[in-house]
């Protein structure tokens, strides 16, 4: 073989080894980041044991979107599968929580921290953080009673782009970014419709409209609802119909699946709260 060919070959082998070594380093580093234990203490919650509470818990679960991500029977699903990015799989809840104590279950919901103490990818816990003890207890009672529908799911897989984002700190989790000791809205008495409406909007709408409800991605700032009359707002949330009849995609589907679980009092309370928001952030 000619010397220059040997040189090129050796160069290629070295390059491949460097790339392989770099990737190996990144996998090690990102696994270490993903499996860093977060020190969020467990707190006991009271879980009621009557059918009315479980029925309320089902309403909490549907309106907060547990089924949207975990499947209609909470059996889990492939939530996202992007080549070179990641496959994110939501677990089968009844199966997974058999290993969880009630306090651990409360922690994964409110803080996004798994039983083992790791940050859960994709769990919108900054939203659920504000759930009241009463609603959380009812939710847990419902989840405990939910029948186990067997499912065989692949595992979550972080691929090269997601790993790159993770080392750069650009793959945030709620557990890693939220304030774990903020005053909890659910601890406040929600005796007025406006207070009740704020509680509902923060534990439901912030998931897509942003933590301050001032818009995120395609979801607009919510004071836009001010353009709605109360009957129009009811129709938006219960039937997914925009005021001007436009197809509003994800919002329409979310309303028809999730918000039909809200009752008229809930919807009027959300409307009352949104009406108190100023048009511009202060």
Could you list the residues that contact ligand HEC (CB under 6 A)? Answer: 61, 64-66, 68-70, 79, 88, 90-91, 93, 96-97, 108-109, 114-115, 120-124, 128, 143, 156, 201, 204-205, 207-209, 218-220, 222, 224-225, 236-237, 242-243, 248-251, 254, 259, 270
DSSP 70-123: H-TTS--EEEEEETTTEEEEE--HHHHHTT--HHHHHHHHHH-B-TTSPBPTT-
Closer of 122 and 193 to ligand HEC (Cβ): 122
d(CA 263, CA 243): 20
Q: Residue 209 CB, nearest distance to ligand HEC (Å)?
A: 6
Closer of 59 and 115 to ligand HEC (Cβ): 115
Nearest to 83 by CA among 161, 24, 170, 172: 161
Nearest to 28 by CA among 163, 161, 152: 163
Q: Residue 76 CB, nearest distance to ligand HEC (Å)?
A: 9
Nearest to 153 by CA among 88, 76, 70, 94: 76
Q: Residue 14 CB, nearest distance to ligand HEC (Å)?
A: 37
Closer of 26 and 117 to ligand HEC (Cβ): 117
**211 sits in which H/E element:** none
Nearest to 132 by CA among 191, 197, 189: 189
Q: Residue 146 CB, nearest distance to ligand HEC (Å)?
A: 10
Pair 255, 238: CB distance under 8 Å: yes
Closer of 69 and 160 to ligand HEC (Cβ): 69
Closer of 26 and 252 to ligand HEC (Cβ): 252
Q: Residue 67 CB, nearest distance to ligand HEC (Å)?
A: 8
Closer of 26 and 95 to ligand HEC (Cβ): 95
Nearest to 41 by CA among 144, 145, 140, 111: 111
Q: Residue 137 CB, nearest distance to ligand HEC (Å)?
A: 13
């Amino acid at each position: 073989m000619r010397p220059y060919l040997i040189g090129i070959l050796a160069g290629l082998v070295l390059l491949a080894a460097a790339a392989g070594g770099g990737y190996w380093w990144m996998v090690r580093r990102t696994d270490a980041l993903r499996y860093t234990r977060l020190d969020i203490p467990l707190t006991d919650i009271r879980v009621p044991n009557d059918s009315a509470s479980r029925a309320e818990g089902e309403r909490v679960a549907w309106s907060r979107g547990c089924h949207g991500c975990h499947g209609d029977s909470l059996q889990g699903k492939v939530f996202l599968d992007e080549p070179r990015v990641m496959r994110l799989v939501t677990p089968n809840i009844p199966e997974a929580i058999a290993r969880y104590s009630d306090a651990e279950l409360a922690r994964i919901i409110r803080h996004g921290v798994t039983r083992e103490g790791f940050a859960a990818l994709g769990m919108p816990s900054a939203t659920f953080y504000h759930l009241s003890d009463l609603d959380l207890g009812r939710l847990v009672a419902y989840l405990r009673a939910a029948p186990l529908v067997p499912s065989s799911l692949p595992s979550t897989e972080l691929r090269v782009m997601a790993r790159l984002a993770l080392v750069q700190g650009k793959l945030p989790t709620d557990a890693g970014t939220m304030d774990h000791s903020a005053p909890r809205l659910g601890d406040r008495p929600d005796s007025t419709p406006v207070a009740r409406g704020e509680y509902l909007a923060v534990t439901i709408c912030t998931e897509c409209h942003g933590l301050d409800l001032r818009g995120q991605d395609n979801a607009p700032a919510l004071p836009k609802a001010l353009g709605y009359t109360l009957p129009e707002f009811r129709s938006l949330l219960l039937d997914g119909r925009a005021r001007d009849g436009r197809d509003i995609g994800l919002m329409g589907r979310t309303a028809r699946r999730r918000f039909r679980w809200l009752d008229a009092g809930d919807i009027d309370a959300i409307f009352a709260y949104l009406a108190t928001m100023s048009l511009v952030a202060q």
